[in-house]
């Protein structure tokens, strides 16, 4: 909400916040109003612990942006006066005047949203430089070359950002004004036979400015503005307009940033990094954002202005030895080039980390040996770095346990679960090329050279790697669609590196050995030629890439910070984490990720995949049996397979609880389809193929998801339940007799009425007694419970709780039957539902709290009202989704169960849920 403040006796809304000279109107916690950049500039300039050298300026609030768009691009009344007041303050602090021919003040005009949107919006530098002020600035600086260089930069940026893009002009033949001007520069350099901008003289820049202005008039039909006010307001409007530019809008969609937030505009007096060799500009991270190591890490460019570092045009130099790489080690390090400035920066690094208690990403400029801080913000980092920093900052007593857990997002943790190249395979592979390791992990994919191709190949289900000279904000969708990104130019802070890091994508930048030939759709690297569509494999951690497809392995296993981090999560969470595992191998994998039991063992999965031929053949005999006698005979043959499968899994879980669900198979899926299998089965059943086909046809259902499945099978054929219960108890008692701690939990699927459960319970008790007698034991400890996955079961949960020891919510079916959306067919209409915002998310991925959540909460409460000790968990896919896990915590479940690869995510989400939803409940076992 807007804040109002009384100023000079009249009550009016405050739209402009000043900073500079050791004071500031704003603070770091005012990001909603001032944007991230504005809020942090205020904090750096004004907070008593910092008071860093920030060039004075002011921030126009995000509210003005919202106003601007809702009022046909008009500004709120009073804004102009507030801007004028703020500008006067800056002039006072700088002892310069905006537009003064003798002593002119120049300003930068930059965007700054609540959440950083790197490179998505516009910036204009050197605003205030006109024919009149040029002379004054030359006199002041005694550096005409610098002044004319600054002028041609202003003309380029302004004509592109303000006069073309913000004015909504579509470039003719796709050639924008910027490329016209760059063409002039290129031709000029060719004629003068020079390569670098640095080789151009004052006169050259002067001539260039005149040529630029004439071109602007010719192409855009307008003069380049020559008054400081027009320049300033043009730039402010252009920055606001860029909030609704194509790039920014598409980035917001991906990052789910609401359109209503708007951007702030920061107007700040210029600090010049391009005033000669004792001037520079750079970006740095207070810790390494790629690995998390506690080392100052950054790059800078001597005699350059602001955007040059990020633009990736020149290779930036390292600030210190630690930041050196093969790529930049020939360049002078700042620590030696300007010791005083480096020491000052190190001191600022320490103070900023102590103040913000987090890694900061900073931008600085050195103007003739004087350091200025232009930006600081919490630095983006990949998963590897996020985990390491959080754990190390706890040790350094910079943050507490709770903050450690809040510092890592589930998607960052997921990055660590992403694969890396199998070191053995990598060792023997030949390196094709090297670059900077900008996004860790390994990835293989087919080469594409444009973002459009990346998106279209991705849509065809292909795995692609986008290879570009460098990326720019227009490439975001292509980058998103790619498995990894490889660029031939740019540094660790280039666009590709920033974006990839933010998304946790594998990325290598600045691989200068690559030459891309876009017309032929191929690349050449160290003598090799690779065409579009060929496979390559990237090691984004080391910055190397290889031809072909190398095998991948898990990254998390050897990472000590990952393990420590999850232990911290475990110390806070209340929910237990189980896994959905159907094979002993899955169970063992899940145990290695920290699963504390199996929440769903789908027994029918033993009939799928490798090694399933024999049990599947027996199951088919059960399904096709004509009568009880035939079925019982077939069940007897199937029994040893089922018992072995259960026994192996119980054993793999080594004393942890295992929930074994009785068969819930869609019967028709198991009927053989090919002729050979039909004949074999018919022969074994001693019936004709025609007869077999007739019986198979009788099993076909119109709506199998609501057909003869789950408990319904056990009601119709109690002998099927009997066989499974016997297998469970025999497997359990045999392992118990071997000295193992075994605790099976028998789970009945798809029930809708307590009477179904009673029917199955009677069978369970009878078989329990028989097995106990057979093995001479008084009892086999176990639980008997049910899935709650049919809405009627949720509605009658109190009745059901009389019979069940536990409930496990099958939210896949509960969502299917609650919404009436077929879980197998939702793909046909879900995209429309999401696009038209009828649904916020895919309800099969993220639990619908309002509807399905209500059923769950009611069932938990009803169940526990009858049986206080009722154990409650979830085993639908939602058990691995962070938002759904938070809900499970909130309604007081005891555990969530998810696939093995989601276990680590669930451990984190369960700990975060404790912090987001505080509750006073004891850990239940
Ligand atoms: C469920 O319905 O949520 C569930 C776990 O069972 P299945 O996916 O096997 O139907
Ligand atoms: Mg189900």
Question: 915, 865, 908, 867: which is closest to 890 by C-alpha?
Answer: 915
- 907 Cα to the center of ligand 2, angstroms: 24
For residue 770, pLDDT over 50 is answered with yes
Distance 576 CA to ligand 2 centre (A): 21
Distance set, CA 421 to CA 272, 417, 541, 888 (Å): 44, 13, 10, 36
**Which of 148-157, 381-390, 504-513, 774-783 has the weakest average pLDDT?**
504-513
Q: Comparing 119 with 755, which gets the higher pLDDT? A: 755
Distance of alpha carbon 781 from alpha carbon 763, whole angstroms:
16
Q: Beta strands of 313-408 (E only): which ranges?
A: 317-318, 360-367, 370-378
Q: Give distance in angstroms: CA of 605 to centre of ligand 1.
A: 12
How much distance in Å is there from the Cα of 906 to the middle of ligand 2?
A: 20
Mean pLDDT of 173-184: 89
Helices in 429-528 by DSSP H: which ranges? 451-459, 476-481, 495-503
Query: Which residues on neighbouring strands pair with residue 485, listed in sequence order?
Result: 466, 507
Considering Cα of 497, then 501, then 502, then 503, what sign does the dihedral take? positive
Which of helix, strand or coil describes residue 911?
Answer: helix
CA distances to 109, 123, 140, 313, 910 from 126, rounded to whole Å, are 9, 10, 15, 20, 50
List active site positions: 495, 875
Residue 2: the pLDDT is 40
Helical axes 754-775 vs 718-737, angle rounded to 10°: 40
Give the pLDDT confidence of 83-134 residue by residue, as tens digits: 999 999 999 999 999 999 999 999 999 999 998 887 788 899 999 999 999 9
Query: Which residue has better confidence, 792 or 313?
Result: 792
- Does the Cβ of 873 fall within 6 Å of ligand 1? no
Q: What is the pLDDT of residues 211-237, one digit of tens each?
A: 999 999 999 999 999 999 999 999 999
Substitution site in 582, 785, 812, 873 for ligand 1 pocket (most atoms within 8 Å of beta carbon): 812
Across the range 639-652, mean pLDDT stands at 93
Taking residues 444-473, report their average pLDDT. 93
How many other β-carbons are positioned within 10 Å of the β-carbon of residue 172?
A: 9
pLDDT at residue 8 tops 70: no
SS3 state at 525: strand
Closest to 888 (Cα-Cα) out of 875, 901, 903, 870: 875
Which H or E run includes 438? strand 436-439
- Which is nearest to 308 in space by CA: 96, 496, 494, 51? 494
Close Cβ partners of 759 (under 8 Å, ≥ 6 residues apart)? 714, 715, 718
CA of 709 to the centre of ligand 2 (A): 10
Ligand showing the shortest atom-to-Cα distance for residue 815? 1
What confidence tens digit (pLDDT) does each residue in 377-424 have?
Answer: 999 888 889 999 999 999 999 999 999 999 999 988 988 887 888 877
Geometric angle at alpha carbon 169, from 163 and 175, rounded to 5°: 95
Rounded to the nearest angstrom, the distance between the alpha carbon of 817 and the centre of ligand 1 is 12
Ligand 1 site, residue 604, Cβ cutoff 6 A:
no
Mean pLDDT on 289-316: 83
Average of per-residue pLDDT across 854-859: 98
Please state, in angstroms and rounded to a whole number, the distance separating the CA atoms of residues 82 and 90. Answer: 13
**Residues comprising the chain, all counted:** 925
The single residue listed with the structure tokens 């975060």 is 912
pLDDT by residue (tens digit) across 552-579?
877 676 789 999 999 999 999 999 999 9
3-state secondary structure 39-64: HHHHHHHHCCCCCCCCCCEEEECHHH
Pairing mode of beta strands 744-748, 658-661:
parallel
For the CA of 812, the nearest atom of ligand 1: 3
Rounded Cα gap, residues 629 and 624, in angstroms: 12
Whether the CB-CB separation of 652 and 587 falls below 8 Å is answered with yes
How much of the chain exceeds pLDDT 90, in percent?
68
Q: Ligand 1 in contact with 810 (CB < 6 A)? A: yes
Nearest to 306 by CA among 352, 273, 349: 273
Q: Is the pLDDT of residue 5 over 50?
A: no
| pLDDT value for 612 | 81
- Number of the ligand 1 atom closest to the C-alpha atom of 810: 3
Tokens, residue 484: 């990894």
**Nearest atom (ligand 1) to Cα of 875:** 5
Kindly report the protein residue whose alpha carbon is nearest to atom 3 of ligand 1.
Answer: 810
Q: What is the pLDDT of residue 493?
A: 62
pLDDT attached to residue 3: 41
Ligand 1 and 582: CB distance under 6 A: no
To the nearest whole number, what is the mean pLDDT of the chain?
A: 91
User: Which pLDDT value is given to residue 730?
Assistant: 98
pLDDT above 60 for 924:
no
Report the distance separating Cα 273 and Cα 124, nearest Å: 15
For the record, the structure tokens of 188 come out as: 């000029």
Pocket of ligand 1 contains residue 602 by CB under 6 Å: yes
* Position 609 pLDDT exceeds 80: no
The C-alpha atoms of residue 818 and residue 795 are separated, in whole angstroms, by 12
- Smallest-distance ligand from the CA of 896: 1
pLDDT bracket for residue 307 (50, 70, 90): low
Atom of ligand 1 nearest to the CA of 664: 9
Pairing of strands 107-113, 97-98: unpaired
Pocket test for ligand 1, best of 785, 810, 847, 852 (most atoms within 8 A of CB): 810
> From the alpha carbon of 878, which atom of ligand 1 is closest?
3
| pLDDT (tens digit per residue) in 334-354 | 999 999 999 999 999 999 999
Contact at 8 Å (CB) between 843 and 853?
no
Mutate to test the pocket of ligand 1, among 601, 711, 749 (most ligand atoms within 8 A of CB): 749
pLDDT tens digits, residue range 501-550? 667 689 998 888 899 999 999 999 999 999 999 999 999 888 899 999 99
pLDDT of res. 898: 92
Give residue 650's pLDDT.
Answer: 92
DSSP at 276: S
Torsion of CA 287, 291, 293, 296, to 10 degrees: -30
The whole-angstrom separation of Cα 392 and Cα 757 is 52
CA–CA gap between residue 152 and residue 158 (Å, rounded): 10
Q: Is 875 in the pocket of ligand 1 (CB under 6 A)?
A: yes
Check the CA dihedral 94-99-102-108 and report its sign: positive
pLDDT band at 312 (very low <50, low <70, confident <90, very high): low
CA distances to 59, 156, 669 from 683, rounded to whole Å, are: 84, 83, 20
In the 8-state DSSP scheme, what is residue 541?
Answer: T
817 lines ligand 1 (CB under 6 A): no
Dist. CA 714 → ligand 1 center (Å): 17
**In the predicted structure, residue 465 carries a pLDDT above the cut 70:** yes
pLDDT at 505: 85
**Could you tell me the CA-to-CA distances from 857 to 752, 787, 797, 844, 909 in Å, in that order?**
17, 15, 11, 18, 19
Predicted pLDDT of residue 247: 84
Element (DSSP H or E) covering residue 577: strand 576-580
User: Which has the closest alpha carbon to 733: 741, 724, 721?
Assistant: 741
- Gap from CA of 749 to ligand 2 centroid (Å): 7
**Model pLDDT, residue 309:** 63
Lowest mean pLDDT among 437-441, 571-575, 660-664: 437-441
Torsion of CA 269, 274, 276, 282, to 10 degrees: 100
585 or 881, greater pLDDT: 881
Within 13 Å, how many C-alpha atoms sit on residue 225's CB side?
17
Write down the pLDDT at residue 780.
97
> What is the residue with the minimal CA distance to atom 8 of ligand 1?
812
600 in contact with ligand 1, CB cutoff 6 A: yes
> Rounded to whole angstroms, how far apart are CA atoms 925 and 923?
7
pTM here? 0.80
Label residue 607 by pLDDT band (50, 70, 90).
confident
Mutate to test the pocket of ligand 1, among 600, 666, 813 (most ligand atoms within 8 A of CB): 813
Whose C-alpha lies nearest to ligand 1, atom 4? 810
Say if residue 494's pLDDT is above 80. no
Separation of alpha carbons 759 and 710, rounded Å: 13
- What CA–CA distance (Å, rounded) separates 205 from 145? 7
């Amino acid at each position: 909400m807007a804040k109002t403040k009384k100023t000079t006796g009249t009550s009016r809304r405050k739209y402009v916040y000043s900073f500079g000279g050791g004071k500031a109107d704003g603070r770091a916690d005012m990001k909603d109003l001032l944007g991230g950049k504005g809020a942090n500039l205020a904090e750096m300039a004004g907070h008593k612990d910092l008071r860093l050298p920030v060039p004075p300026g002011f921030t126009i609030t995000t509210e003005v942006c919202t106003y601007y768009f809702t009022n046909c691009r008009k500004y709120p009344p009073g804004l102009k006066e507030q801007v004028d007041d703020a500008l006067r303050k800056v002039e006072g602090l700088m002892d310069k005047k905006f537009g003064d021919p003798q002593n002119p003040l120049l300003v930068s005009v930059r965007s700054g949203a609540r959440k950083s949107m790197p490179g998505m919006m516009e910036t204009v530098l050197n605003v205030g430089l006109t024919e009149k002020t040029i002379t004054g600035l030359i006199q002041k600086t005694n550096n005409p070359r610098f002044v004319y260089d600054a002028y041609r930069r202003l003309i380029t940026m302004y004509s592109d950002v303000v006069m073309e893009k913000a004015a909504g002009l579509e470039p003719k033949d796709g050639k924008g004004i910027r490329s016209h001007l760059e063409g002039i520069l290129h031709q000029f350099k060719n004629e003068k036979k020079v390569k670098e901008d640095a080789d151009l003289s004052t006169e050259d820049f002067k001539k260039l400015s005149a040529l630029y202005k004439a071109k602007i008039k010719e192409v855009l039909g307008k003069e380049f503005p020559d008054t400081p006010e027009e320049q300033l307001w043009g730039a402010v409007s252009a920055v606001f307009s860029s909030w609704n530019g194509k790039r920014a809008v598409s980035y917001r969609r991906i990052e789910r940033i609401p359109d209503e937030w708007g951007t702030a505009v920061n107007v700040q007096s210029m600090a010049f990094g391009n005033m000669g060799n004792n001037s520079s500009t750079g970006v740095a991270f207070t810790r390494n954002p790629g690995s998390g190591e506690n080392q100052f890490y950054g790059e800078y460019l001597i005699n350059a202005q602001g955007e040059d570092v990020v633009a990736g045009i020149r290779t930036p130099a390292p600030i210190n030895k630690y930041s050196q790489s093969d790529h930049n080690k020939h360049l002078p390090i700042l620590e030696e080039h300007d010791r005083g400035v480096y020491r000052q920066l190190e001191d600022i690094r320490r103070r900023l980390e102590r103040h913000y208690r987090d890694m900061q990403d900073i931008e600085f400029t050195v103007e003739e040996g004087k350091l200025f801080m232009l930006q600081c913000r919490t630095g983006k980092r990949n998963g590897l770095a996020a985990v390491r920093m959080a754990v190390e900052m706890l040790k350094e007593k910079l943050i507490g346990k709770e903050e450690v857990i809040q510092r890592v997002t589930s998607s960052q943790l997921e990055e660590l679960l992403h694969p890396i190249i199998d070191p053995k395979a990598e060792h023997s592979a030949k390196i094709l090329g090297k670059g900077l390791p900008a996004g860790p992990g390994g990835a293989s994919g087919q080469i594409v050279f444009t973002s459009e191709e990346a998106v279209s190949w991705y849509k065809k289900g292909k795995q692609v790697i986008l290879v570009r000279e460098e990326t720019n904000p227009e490439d975001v969708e292509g980058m998103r669609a790619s498995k990894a990104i490889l660029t031939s130019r740019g540094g660790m802070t280039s666009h590709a590196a920033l974006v990839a890091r933010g998304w946790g994508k594998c990325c290598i930048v600045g691989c200068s050995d690559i030459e891309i030939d876009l017309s032929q759709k191929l690349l050449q690297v160290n003598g090799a030629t690779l065409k579009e569509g060929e496979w390559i494999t990237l090691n984004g951690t080391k910055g190397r890439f290889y031809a072909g497809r190398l095998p991948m392995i898990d990254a998390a296993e050897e990472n000590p910070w990952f393990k420590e981090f999850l232990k911290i999560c475990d110390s806070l969470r209340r929910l237990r984490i189980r896994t959905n595992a159907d094979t002993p191998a899955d169970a063992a994998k899940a145990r290695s990720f920290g699963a504390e039991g199996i929440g769903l063992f789908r027994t029918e999965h033993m009939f799928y995949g490798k090694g399933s031929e024999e049990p599947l053949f027996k199951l088919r005999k059960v399904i096709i049996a004509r009568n009880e006698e035939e079925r019982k005979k077939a069940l007897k043959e199937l029994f040893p397979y089922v018992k072995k499968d259960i026994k192996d899994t119980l054993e793999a879980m080594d004393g942890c609880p295992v929930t074994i669900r009785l068969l819930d198979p869609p019967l028709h899926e198991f009927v053989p389809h090919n002729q050979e299998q039909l004949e074999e089965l018919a022969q074994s059943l001693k019936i004709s193929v025609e007869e077999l086909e007739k019986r198979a046809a009788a099993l076909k259902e119109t709506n199998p998801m609501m057909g003869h499945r789950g408990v319904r099978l056990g009601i119709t054929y109690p002998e099927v339940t009997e066989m499974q219960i016997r297998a469970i108890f025999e497997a359990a008692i045999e392992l118990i007799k071997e000295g193992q701690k075994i605790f099976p939990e028998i789970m009945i699927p798809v029930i809708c009425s307590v009477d179904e459960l009673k029917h199955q319970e009677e069978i369970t008790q009878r078989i329990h007694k028989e097995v106990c007698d057979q093995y001479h034991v008084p009892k086999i400890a176990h639980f008997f419970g049910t899935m709650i996955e049919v809405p009627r079961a949720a509605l009658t949960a109190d009745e059901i709780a009389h019979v069940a020891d536990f409930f496990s919510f099958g939210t896949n079916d509960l969502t299917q039957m609650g919404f009436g959306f077929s879980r197998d067919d939702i793909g046909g209409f879900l995209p429309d539902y999401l696009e038209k915002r009828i649904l916020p998310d895919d309800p099969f991925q993220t639990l619908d709290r309002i509807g399905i959540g209500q059923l769950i909460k009611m069932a938990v409460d009803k169940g526990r009202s009858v049986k206080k000790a009722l154990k409650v968990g979830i085993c639908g896919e939602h058990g691995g989704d962070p938002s759904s896990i938070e809900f499970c915590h909130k309604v007081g479940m005891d555990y969530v169960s998810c696939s093995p690869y989601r276990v680590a995510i669930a451990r984190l989400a369960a700990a975060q849920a404790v912090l987001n939803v505080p509750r006073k409940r004891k850990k239940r076992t």
